[in-house]
Copies of this chain bind each other. A is one copy, B any other.
Amino acid sequence: MTKSADTYLVCDPWQIIEENWNRERNLVSESVFSLGNEHMGVRGYAEEGINAETLQGSYFNGIYEEADLNRSYKGIITKTHFMVNSVDWLYAEIHADDELLDIASCDIENFRRVLDMKDGTLKRSFDWRTKSGPVVHLEFIRFLSMDSPGTAYQKINFSVSGGDVSLTVVIANNFNTSHGWNKKNYWDMTRREWFTSGAAIQGKTIRTGQQVFSGFTFRTNINVQCGKKVAEKFAGFEIILALKNGESAWIEKCVYNHISKERDSAGDPVWIKGCEIMKDDPVDFDTALEKQRKYWDTFWKNADIKIEGDPLNQQGIRFCIFQMQQTYNGYDPTNNIGAKGLTGEAYNGHAFWDTETYCLPFYLFSNPQAARNLLSFRYATLDTARDRARQLDCEGACYPIATLNGEEACSLWQHASLQFQPSTAVAYGIRHYVNLCQDTEFLYEQGAEMLVEISRFLASRGSWNNDGTGFGFYAVMGPDEFHMMVNHNCYTNFMAKKTFEYTEQVLQTMEKEQPKKFAVFCKKLKLSQNERMNFVLCADKMIILFDEKTKIFEQHEGYYTLPRMEISKIPVTDFPLYHNWSYDRIYRTSMIKQPDVLMFLFLYNQEFSRDIKKANYDYYEPNTIHESSLSPSIHSIFASELGKHSEAFRFFGFATRMDLDNYNRNTVEGLHTTSIAAAWMNIVYGFAGLRSDGNYLSLNPVLPEKWTGYEFGILYRNAHIRISVTAKDIVLSSNDEISEPIPLKIFSELHSFTSAGLTISLSKKQD
Contacts and interface: CB of A to CB of B under 8 A. Distances in A.
A584 B417 contact: yes
Contact of A561 (B73, B466, B483): B466
Contacts of A557: 558, 561
Interface stretch (A574-582, A674-682, A703-711, A734-742): A574-582
A185 B74 CA distance: 30
A392 B580 CA distance: 11
Interface string A559-592: 0011110000000000000111111110111000
A715 interface: no
A76 interface: yes
A475 B588 contact: yes
B485 A583 contact: no
A583 B463 contact: no
Contacts of A474: 562-563, 588-589
B558 A588 contact: no
Contacts of A463: 563, 588-589
A579 B485 contact: no
Nearest to A418: B584
Contacts of A579: 74
A130 interface: no
B584 A475 contact: yes
B563 A465 contact: yes
Contacts of A581: 74, 393
A594 B274 CA distance: 62
A456 to B, nearest CB: 16
A370 to B, nearest CB: 34
Contacts of A585: 75, 392-393
* Copies of this chain: 2
Contact of A564 (B74, B466, B483): B466
Nearest to A564: B466
A484 interface: yes
Interface in A354-400: 391-394
B74 A587 contact: no
Contacts of A578: 73
A464 to B, nearest CB: 7
Given A561-B465, A579-B74, A589-B463, A392 B487 contact: no
A747 to B, nearest CB: 40
Contacts of A487: 558, 561-562, 588
Given A487-B558, A562-B474, A589-B474, A584 B465 contact: no
Interface string A458-495: 00000111100000001100000001111100000000
8 contacts: A73-B578, A74-B579, A74-B583, A393-B582, A418-B584, A463-B563, A465-B561, A466-B563
Nearest 8 CB-CB pairs, A to B?
A: A75-B582, A73-B583, A475-B588, A474-B588, A393-B582, A417-B584, A485-B485, A463-B563
